[in-house]
Amino acid sequence: MNNPLEQEFERHFGKSSGPFIHSRAPGRVNLIGEHTDYNDGFVFPIAIDRFTALLAKARPDRKVRLFSSTQNELAEFSVADVVAKDAPKWSLYAKGVAEALRQRGLVKFGIDALITTTVPIGGGLSSSASFEVATGLALLAANGKTLDKVELALAAQWAEHNYAGMPCGIMDQFISALGEKDHAMLLDCRDLSRRQVPMKDEHMRIFIANTNVKHELVQGEYQARRNQCERAVALLKKKFPAVKALRDADISMLEACRMDMDPTVFRRGRHVISENARTLKFAEAMAAGDWAACGQLMYQSHESLRDDYGVSCPELNVLVEIAATVPGVYGARMTGGGFGGSIVAMVRREAIEGLTAEIDKRYPERCGKQASMFATIAGAGAELL
């Protein structure tokens, strides 16, 4: 007797011989290091224990059929030639990855696949990256191919840029592909070197609260921040020719260029430079088990994102403010691109109940809606099961 997912697969695609392929890739939460990845900087995310999964079978032809259980919709495309960039919108993530792998000569056969996810969609927890990476793994398996996980992450990022139209950095796809259980990853986005920092502590939990809002213009604002960072680099370069990215500058260098800079560009630069420094400090504090120091850095990160980088929103600020009043919360900040999505907090285990109750009570009073919350551990990266 097949399990319920296999039965659902057969309802959509019929019965066929051949083994099931089961791939899954996690969402992520970034502990600190926000809007630094596309500035050659440092990020410090964990993979969460929530996943996008594909239950798939290889096809004998070049067709791909995907059924999304969250959208309740079927998408069909061909990998015989350049993959079409057409609707439905959710399918573009998969199409982009299929095209990236096809260009590498790794995809000759298509798949039928049922897609399920436990990553909240649009919650700032990288549901799209998890979908891209899980799709890549299933396509590779169906074609009897393997690909280095770093290459897989880059293929997924390429999909995001070229098919989904989001000019993202490398963080989300990278942690989804390469996360390690019970570890946070300090990633240097310049050369992709990384250090896995253990973060298992019985008394500490990572807590996520989703604002359940996603403001429009996210992609436009994201692109605008990238442009402002490039502008800051161009101005810094005039005085300091060695500066290739904001990663190469410190605050005193930025101050030396202040007169030549638009005040907004200055503030954007100040966020990125200070955030890189906070991220390195945070990794040290975490390695030392100094949660109080980690928490302070999280609050500082939030203030910098709110005031200097301009990517927070009232709902995120309210959640961080509420969290800060609850005993046992070490720190909290917005996580991900901003303009909605989620906050991440570091909390003592026994504080979770109080924090949940407080947010349940005060967030609707102030924002007129409920937040969704859960605690997570640092989970494993993408895998075939």
- Binding-site ranges for ligand GLA (CB under 6 A): 34-35, 37-38, 168-169, 171-172, 336-337
Shortest CB 321 distance to ligand GLA, Å: 21
**Is the CB of 172 or the CB of 308 nearer to ligand GLA?**
172
- Sign of the CA dihedral 365, 209, 360, 120? positive
CA distances from 15 to 7, 9, 68, 143, 195 (A): 9, 9, 18, 20, 45
CA distances from 32 to 103, 265, 336 (A): 34, 22, 9
Shortest CB 219 distance to ligand GLA, Å: 10
List, in order, residues 6 or more apart from 241 with CB less than 8 Å away: none
3-state secondary structure of 289: coil
Shortest CB 215 distance to ligand GLA, Å: 14
Shortest CB 172 distance to ligand GLA, Å: 5
Pick left, alpha or beta for residue 45 (phi over 0 → left; psi -120 to 50 → alpha; otherwise beta). beta
**Is the CB of 36 or the CB of 91 nearer to ligand GLA?**
36
Shortest CB 111 distance to ligand GLA, Å: 26
Contact 164, 92 (CB under 8 A): yes
Find the catalytic residue in 40, 112, 172, 248: 172
Does the annotation count 61 as an active-site position? no
**Is the CB of 78 or the CB of 219 nearer to ligand GLA?**
219
Name the residue among 13, 215, 43 with its Cα closest to residue 114: 13
Alpha carbon distance 243, 39 (integer Å):
11
Single-letter amino acid code for the residue at 326: V
Six-digit token string for 203: 């008394």
Alpha carbon distance 290, 23 (integer Å):
36
**Is the CB of 34 or the CB of 40 nearer to ligand GLA?**
34
**Is the CB of 110 or the CB of 179 nearer to ligand GLA?**
179
**Is the CB of 168 or the CB of 316 nearer to ligand GLA?**
168
**Is the CB of 102 or the CB of 333 nearer to ligand GLA?**
333
Tracing tokens 């309802």 back to the chain, one arrives at: 11
Shortest CB 104 distance to ligand GLA, Å: 22
Question: Residue 190 belongs to what H/E stretch?
Answer: none
Shortest CB 166 distance to ligand GLA, Å: 7
**CA 285: distance to chain centroid?**
23
Task: Return phi, psi of residue 282, to 5°.
Answer: -60, -45
Single-letter amino acid code for the residue at 29: V
The two beta strands, 21-32 and 73-78, are unpaired
3-state secondary structure of 270: helix
* CB-side neighbour CA atoms (13 Å) of 288: 11
Contact 8, 69 (CB under 8 A): yes
Give the residue numbers marked as catalytic: 172
